[in-house]
Amino acid sequence: MDRKKDQLQTIRDYVFELFHNDATGHDYYHMERVARMAKTIAEKEGADSFICETAAWLHDIGDKKLFTNPEQARNEMDDILTKIEIDRNSIELIYEAIKDVSFSKGKTPATLAGEIVQDADRLDAIGAIGISRVFAYGGTKEQLIYHDENPENTSIQHFYDKLLKLKNLMNTPTAIKIAQERHAFMEAYLDQFFREWKD
Ligand code: NI
C-alpha cells in the first residue's frame, strides 16, 4: 500500500520535471487532473486504480507533439518504472493503457484501463478547462482565435473538428455522464462567443 504511494510520488516528481514549463495545455496540472480523473473513473468502473492512475500520469510522455526525441523519453520512463520496482507485468499493462489514448489515432483502447485513461484525457479537453487549453495551444501554434471568412486552423474551429465530438466518443458510463455537463458548457460558451462576435 505505502509502496504504491511512494511509487506514485516518484512518478509525480518525474512528471513535474518534464512538464512544469509547458505552455501548450499539456502542463503538469493537465497530467494531475487526468490522473485524478482516471483514478475516480477506475474506482467507479471497477478497474485497477493504480494501473489507471499511473498510466494517466504518464500518458503524454513520448508524444511526438511534445517531445523532440520521443523514443528517448519512453526509454527514460521505462528506466524509472523499472527502478522504482513496478513489476514488469504492471508496466506492460500501463503501456497498453497509454498506447491508444490519442484522439488523432482514432482508436478504441483494447483494455478497460486504456478506455479509462482515454476518457480522463478527453474529459480534460472539454468544459471550462478544455476551452482554456484550446486557446493556450492555439497561442503557442500562432493560430488565430477565429476568422470570419477563413475559420480553418483557428482555435474556434478546433471545437467543431474535435472538442464537440468527444462527448459521443467516451467509453465508460462514468465519463459519459461527466462529459454531458462539460459539453453543454462549451455549447453555451460558443453561443455567447458568436453573439459577442456580432455585437
Ligand atoms: Ni493528455
Mean pLDDT over residues 23-46, rounded?
Answer: 97
Pair 114, 107: CB distance under 8 Å:
no
Tell me the per-residue pLDDT of 81-123, one tens digit each, with 9 for 90 and over. Answer: 999 999 999 999 999 999 988 777 778 899 999 999 999 999 9
Q: Could you tell me the distance, in angstroms and rounded to a whole number, from the CA of residue 66 to the centre of ligand 1?
A: 10
Q: Do the Cβ atoms of 130 and 163 come closer than 8 Å? A: yes
**Distance from Cα 23 to the centre of ligand 1, integer Å:** 13
Task: Give percent of the chain above pLDDT 90.
Answer: 93
Q: What is the pLDDT of residue 106?
A: 79
The model carries a pTM of 0.95
Q: Span 16-21, mean pLDDT?
A: 96
State the distance from the centre of ligand 1 to the C-alpha of 124, rounded, in angstroms: 8
Residue with cell 471545437: 159
Distance of CA 58 to the CA centre of its chain: 10
C-alpha 197 – ligand 1 centre gap (Å) = 30
Quote the ligand 1 centre to 3 CA distance (angstroms): 26
Mean pLDDT of 121-149: 97
Query: What string of DSSP letters covers 115-180?
Result: HHHHHHHHHTTSHHHHHHHHHHHHHHTT--S--SS--TTSHHHHHHHTGGGGGGG--SHHHHHHHH
User: What is the model's pLDDT at position 1?
Assistant: 58
Whole-number Å distance, alpha carbon 149 to ligand 1 midpoint, is: 31
Question: Taking residues 60-65, what's their average pLDDT?
Answer: 93
- CATH placement of domain 2-198: 1.10.3210.50
Nearest-5° angle of CA 157, CA 163, CA 166? 150
* 33 CA → ligand 1 middle, Å: 10
Residue 173 in this model has a pLDDT that exceeds 70: yes
